[in-house]
Every structure is written in C-alpha cells, then in structure tokens.
Structure 1
C-alpha cells in the first residue's frame, strides 16, 4: 500500500498486517456502510425520520472514510487526494478518534441492525487505528525487567508502585457483634 513518493522505510513501528487491516476494513466497511445507509433511508416509507437521518449520516460517514482510506475510489473528485495526504501525515490516534466519533450518531439515531452493523464497521476501523497508535508491545525481556524493577521499588517504598494500596495501615472492617436491644421489645 505504498504511495508514490512515500518513504521506503516506515517511520513508525506498526506491524504491516495491522496497516492492511485498518486500510482494508476502512475501505470495505465504508462501502458496506454506504449500502446499509441507503437501506436505512428506506425507513422513510414507514415514517421513521430518525432512521432516514441516521442513514444519511451513515452514508456521509462512509463516503468520508472511503475518501481517506481509498482515494483511488474517488478519482473524479479533485480534492480527495489532498485530504488523504493530509490525513496520512497526522498521528494514528487522530484518525481513530475521528472514525469513532463519526460512527456513533447513526447508531444513536436509529438502533436497527443496518445502522449498528454499518457504523460498527467504521467504529472498528477507528479501534484498529487506536491500537496502531499504541505501537508495538514490549519484548518479554523488557516486561520482565520492568516487573522486577517495580517489585524492588515496592519492597523499598511501600506507598509507591503498581501494588500499592490507598491506606497502608488500615484496619480491616469487621463485625462488632449483635446489638443489645431487641427490636420491638420497647427496652
């Protein structure tokens, strides 16, 4: 998925399969969202205005996602390549937040299967980009050394670390016994 003029060496540490998953799900999911958005708009026949608005929102969200993820599908629009290039320069978390935000209104307006599934694909694309923004997981050696350091820090300073508690010397809660007065006896 390399574009002309793009660096041969990737600048980030994201696995190749995750990049393909994000772009592929974004492309296919936005096409499905557009088709299901049209299906939601059929709800106007039954007088369901919320599903009409939801379907229109879903179609617009799908069109925006397909413009960003697959600008080759929109060659007839001049500015699409510029928008796609601008989005490519942004961090992954920006794209993740944007996709998740534009997917939600359609589901809130019309809680039917077509809006949940169509917008869910766009939301899932945002989740994948959110995972890409986190980067790679540390190696096992790094995680073991961090855990050992954390354990050593906990032994030396009991109030800091991942296993610290809010109050160090708190007495446990216990049952104090039965009350002396019996209810209803008047004593």
Structure 2
C-alpha cells in the first residue's frame, strides 16, 4: 500500500513543469485581479454586493497566499500555509478554487464579480485537468478504440441472434 506522499510524488511526475507554472501564474494573477475588483465591488449601496465584494477580496488574498507565498514575505505564517498547499493533491485544489469562485457571483451578479472570479475558477479548472493526469499515447488510444469496436460487434451479434422469437397470432374469429 502506497503512502500519500508517494501518490503525490507520482502525480507530480505526470504534469509538465510549464503547466504547473501556468496554473500557478493564473492563480496568482487571478488573485490579484480578484482583490482589485473586490475593492471596486465594495463601492456600492447594495448589501449583497458589498458582501460579494468583501468575499471576493478574501478569495483573491487566499489565492495569492496559496499560489505565491513569496508575495507576502512580511507575514510569518505564510510559509507554513504555502507548504501545506503544495502538499495537497490537485483535485482538492481544483475543488477548492472552483467552489469558492462561484459564491461571489451568486451573491451579486455583476461584471466585476464575474471577471474577478473567472480567473480563480480557471485556476480550479486547470488543477482539475492536472488531477486527471497525462493523456495516453496515440497507439494506446487506437488499440483501445479497436478493442471497443470489436466488442460492440460481438455484443450486437449476440443480441441479433437472441431477437428471434416465434410469436403465434391466432386468427381473428369469423363473423
């Protein structure tokens, strides 16, 4: 039985370095954009939009802390949070980012909340793609497709052979 650290190590090996860097970059930029647009959203008279703006500020700050802890060197506890974030599986990060990005949009549907949450949601989608893993090679996919098509033909042949049913319909009574 493998430990969680071994599984995380295997998961790390499947993802290329540029895709990890892209995901972290989108998360960092998305967090900064969400914080700026959260401040803009807070300039409102509607209570739900005010709560949505404050929540968007919090979500943006959380994304920056989790993706780029080097942006906040003045806070002592950020290093521990960054290490904890790096040890999490990709599917957990994807679920976190996609779920928290939806809440401000549900509270106040406006341009600023949608644009602020879009990059955070995109980060969650990228982490979800990383959790799915690497795509199979062309040869493996072609072999699987030919096996599937052969299995379908055999299954259809069995179904057609079993369809023959002898039904006897009695003649209608003569009047």
TM-score band by shorter chain is 0.7 to 0.9
- TM-score by structure 2 length? 0.81
The one-character-per-residue Cα deviations of 1:70-124 (angstroms, maximum 9, x if unpaired) are 0001112222111111121111010000001111110011111000000111001
Larger helix fraction of residues: 2
Alignment of 1:80-91 (within 5 A): 80-91=78-89
How far apart in 2 are the matches of 1:11 and 1:39?
Answer: 38
State the Cα RMSD in Å: 2.0
* Corresponding residue for residue 40 of structure 1: 41
Q: Which residue is equivalent to 1:182?
A: none
Q: 1:10 to 1:145 in 2, by over 3 A?
A: closer
Taking the aligned partners of 2:100 and 2:11, their CA distance within structure 1 comes to: 28
CA distance in 2, matches of 1:11, 1:96: 15
For structure 1, which runs of at least 5 residues remain unmatched after alignment? 1-8, 170-187
State the secondary structure of the residue aligned to 1:84: helix
73, 76, 79: which one aligns with 2:77 = 79
Runs of 4+ in structure 1 over 6 Å off: none
CA distance in 1, matches of 2:31, 2:107: 18
SS in 2 for 1:131: helix
Gaps of 5+ in 2: 1-9, 164-175
Aligned to 1:180: none
Please tell me whether the aligned partners of residues 11 and 133 of structure 2 are also in contact (alpha carbons under 8 angstroms). no
**Structure-1-length-normalised TM-score:** 0.76
Matched positions, count: 151
Query: Aligned match of 1:61 in 59, 62, 74?
Result: 59
* 1:17 CA displacement: 2.2
1:26 aligns with 2:24: no
